[in-house]
């Protein structure tokens, strides 16, 4: 790819992750005791931006935070990891928040209150036109409105940037958006939502390439070069929160550097494995030195 100012432009969500660890999740009407509340910077978009930046990527971000205290916290967290936040807009009202419970095996359950993320618009995308021309890869997710996601994919296509689209949380999307994905990134649940359990079936939906993430079992990649299974290093999982975002952020960065999709996915699997060894989302994302043993 020609040299650009940014490796990755992320258009997406910024959340404050409010995390409690529990021995077991409560049944309906039941109360259980958990750990002390921990607050981390998160949101699928911000997570992917930080993951790429921690690895050495030149990253810009387009999104919204609120006028509450969480907005300042989230803005400072992105800035602290070297993400360009010139197009992180402050909008009246609350910032996005994710309520997360983490079980004894490191698995998580998440409820997201979108807040300012729900106010990202097509106009925000249009106003940031030069950002798209300056980026090699544009990374998208579904924690901001679909109209904004589709506008961003169109802007990326028009600027010659590669679109990495993580269909999470799963939602109905137009065929036009799927056709712009290179790759479409989904986990097994999201693949099933699209009506396919294998990458070839997903390719039939229209994306140019596909990555299905499988947690501890790695990933499956499909593109014009065929289907490739990508293993994941075996690690002891402490907290899986944000691991998929770490994978996608790393994938986007390596694609921006010119890696083939399967090679980028191999690297991303190492990054995702490193992330589950530490509690939290962004707090768990590795730097290059953290990957040397994987």
Give catalytic residue positions: 245
For residues 149 and 118, what is the distance between their CA atoms, to the nearest angstrom? 11
Structure tokens at 141: 């997710």
Core vs surface per residue 157-182: b (16+ CB within 10 A) or e: bebebbbbbbbbeeeebeeebbbbbb
Q: Where are the alpha helices (DSSP H) in the chain?
A: 44-54, 69-80, 122-127, 129-133, 146-159, 175-180, 188-193, 199-203, 243-256, 261-275
Task: Fill in the DSSP letter of residue 27.
Answer: P
| Residue 208, number of CB atoms within 10 A of its CB | 17
Structure tokens at 134: 């300056």
For residues 118 and 249, what is the distance between their CA atoms, to the nearest angstrom? 22
Chain centroid offset of residue 132 CA: 18
- Per DSSP bridges, beta strands 219-223 and 226-230 are antiparallel
For residues 218 and 221, what is the distance between their CA atoms, to the nearest angstrom? 10
């Amino acid at each position: 790819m020609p040299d650009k100012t940014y490796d990755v432009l992320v258009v997406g969500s910024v959340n404050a992750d409010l995390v409690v660890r529990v021995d077991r999740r409560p049944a309906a009407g039941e109360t259980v005791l958990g750990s002390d509340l921990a607050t981390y910077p998160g949101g699928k978009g911000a997570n992917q931006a930080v993951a790429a930046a921690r690895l050495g990527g030149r990253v810009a971000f387009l999104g919204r935070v609120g006028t509450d205290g969480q907005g300042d916290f989230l803005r400072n967290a992105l800035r602290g990891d070297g993400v360009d936040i010139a197009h992180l807009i402050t909008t009246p009202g609350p910032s996005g928040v994710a309520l997360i419970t983490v079980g004894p095996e490191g698995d998580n359950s998440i409820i997201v209150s979108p807040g300012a993320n729900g106010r990202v618009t097509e106009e925000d995308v249009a106003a940031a036109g030069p950002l798209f021309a300056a980026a090699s890869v544009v990374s998208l997710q579904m924690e901001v409105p679909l109209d904004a996601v589709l506008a961003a994919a169109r802007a990326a296509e028009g600027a010659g940037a590669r679109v990495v689209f993580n269909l999470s949380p799963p939602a109905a999307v137009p065929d036009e958006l799927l056709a712009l994905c290179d790759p479409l990134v989904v986990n097994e649940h999201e693949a099933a939502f699209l009506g396919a359990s294998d990458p070839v079936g997903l390719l039939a939906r229209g994306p140019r390439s596909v990555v299905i993430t499988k947690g501890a079992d790695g990933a499956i990649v499909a593109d014009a070069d065929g289907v490739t299974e990508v293993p994941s290093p075996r690690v002891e999982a402490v907290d899986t929160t944000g691991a998929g975002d770490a994978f996608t952020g790393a994938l986007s960065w390596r694609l921006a550097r010119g890696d083939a999709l399967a090679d980028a996915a191999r690297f991303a699997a190492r990054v995702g494995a490193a992330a589950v060894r530490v509690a939290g989302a962004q707090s768990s994302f590795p730097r290059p030195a953290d990957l040397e043993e994987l």
